[in-house]
Amino acid sequence: MHSPAVYCVSTDALHGKDVMQAVICEAFDGPEALEVREFQDPAPGPGEILVEVHAAAVSFMDVLMVSGGYQMRPETPFVPGTDAAGVVREAGAGVTRFHRGDRVACTRFTGGLGELMVVGEWEAVRIPDGVDFESAASLLYAYGTAYYALVERAKLRPGETVFVSGAAGGVGLAVVDLARHFGARVIAGIGTDDKVALVREYGAAETINYRTESLKDRLKTMTGGAGVDVCAEIVGGEIFEQMTRLMAWEGRLMPIGFASGKIPSVPMNLPLLKNYSIVGVFYGAWNRRDPQGTARVFGALMDLLAAGAIRPCVQQVMPLHQVREAMRAIADRSVQGRIVMKLR
């Protein structure tokens, strides 16, 4: 992290381009079809701000979005990118929380991988002194999902046992970091042993490589047969199906994503027998239904980041023209934490 004395909007931005450089998705043909080229500058409407993007994090959701695999499909062509951080260039009518020159982190389903991004006032949060753009750009989607899952949906209590699958990815590692911060015992599920050190560094008490070990046997041993209180399940498929039999009494099994590409089904006698709940976590939809709650979560996360209580893992910072390589690495699951694209 760093704390520069002054941040200002660039002279070029103030005087006049009508087009920006951005990653463009023309059709849902995946990361290899993306191009970096000129695109029409966006303009803020009422209640929106225009942000000059300095850094943008790439997520698995972005990979799904450009491949046509996400729950929603934007109109093409569009600029992908969920998470960004930068400087407010312009505030639309009715905006009261931000002014030109403010440093902000922001999130929206699309738009982050361009030099300019428009977001609603409630989709942004001010970046405190001492927090760099790369860390701030890695916060709102991954840690927002984790916070919403653990605090808003699971009502996590100190001392409970949390199992998270895909624990070394962006959202998974955020769950590990936050669950540790909130006093839980964290068991991290990973697919390769080279991720053990990272998840332990972020707070995992134990790890399970579910490609080489029996998830059922290891979790039963680790919990004394009781099962886990909270499961943040990101991979889907077979892992989710196994977790339906590994929950504790009154546990909370949370489907967050389906990185495996397989959507599982649940024999409903299983939650009945253990009295556990299946709790959906669609963070993006909740954002739009509860803007005030979203702003509250964003503020809480930025306070934790500024205090050093959490720390997004930025594995690599890359220039914008390497976006294909970044998304390819995420799709291949070789990334630990986040990749951030540097735009300025």
Residues 160 and 128 in one domain: no
Residue 296 placed within a domain? no
Q: DSSP class of residue 109?
A: S
Total H helices, total E strands in the chain: 12, 15
Average pLDDT of the residues of the chain:
93
**Claim to verify: residue 97 and residue 163 sit in the same structural domain:** no
User: How far apart are the C-alpha atoms of 171 and 82, rounded to whole Å?
Assistant: 13
Judge whether 306 lies within some domain.
no
Report residue 71's pLDDT band, with 50, 70 and 90 as the boundaries. Answer: confident
Q: Using pLDDT thresholds of 50, 70 and 90, give the confidence band for residue 17.
A: low
Are 133 and 44 found together in one domain?
yes
**pLDDT of residue 12 exceeding 90:** no
CATH number at residue 171: 3.90.180.10
Residue written as tokens 């922001």?
106
DSSP label at residue 4 = -
How far is 179 from 175, CA to CA, in rounded Å? 6
Pairing of β 277-278 and β 247-255: parallel
Residue 325: closest CA among 63, 6, 1, 29: 63
pLDDT band at 314 (very low <50, low <70, confident <90, very high): very high
CB 51 within 8 A of CB 36: no
146 and 200 assigned to the same domain: yes
pLDDT(13) > 50: no
Give the residue numbers spanning the domain of 185: 142-284
Does residue 299 form part of some domain? no
Question: Does residue 7 surpass a pLDDT of 60?
Answer: no
Q: Which long-range contacts (CB under 8 A, 24 or more apart) does 151-156 make?
A: 151/182, 151/297, 152/286, 152/293, 152/297, 153/252, 153/254, 153/279, 153/280, 153/281, 154/230, 154/232, 154/252, 154/254, 154/279, 155/252, 156/182, 156/184, 156/230
Same domain membership, residue 221 and residue 126: no
Domain match, 202 and 280 both: yes
What local confidence, expressed as pLDDT, does residue 6 receive? 32
* The predicted structure's pLDDT at residue 335: 87
Domain identity same for 160 and 212: yes
**Has this prediction a pTM greater than 0.85?**
yes
pLDDT at res. 5 = 30
325 and 235 in a common domain: no
- Report pLDDT for 18: 85
18 inside domain: yes
Q: 281: phi > 0 → left, psi -120 to 50 → alpha, else beta; which?
A: beta
Q: What's the token pair of residue 239? A: 């892992």
User: 277 and 184 in one domain?
Assistant: yes
259 band by pLDDT with thresholds 50, 70 and 90:
confident
Distance separating alpha carbons of residues 115 and 295, to the nearest angstrom: 24
Residue 191 and residue 111 in one domain: no
Whether 64 is in a domain gets the answer yes
Answer yes or no: is 113 within a domain: yes
pLDDT surpassing 50 at residue 202: yes
Counting the structural domains of the chain, the total is 2
Largest CA-CA distance found in the chain, in angstroms, rounded: 66
Cis check: omega of the bond before 77, within 30 degrees of 0: yes
Residue 4: predicted pLDDT: 34
Q: Does position 262 have pLDDT exceeding 90, yes or no? A: no
Same domain as 316, residue 260: no
pLDDT surpassing 90 at residue 233: yes
Q: Mean pLDDT across the stretch 224-235?
A: 97
What average pLDDT does range 238-250 have in this prediction? 97
Same domain, 154 and 262: yes
Pairing, β 19-24 against β 35-40: antiparallel
pLDDT band of residue 264 (cuts 50, 70, 90) is: confident
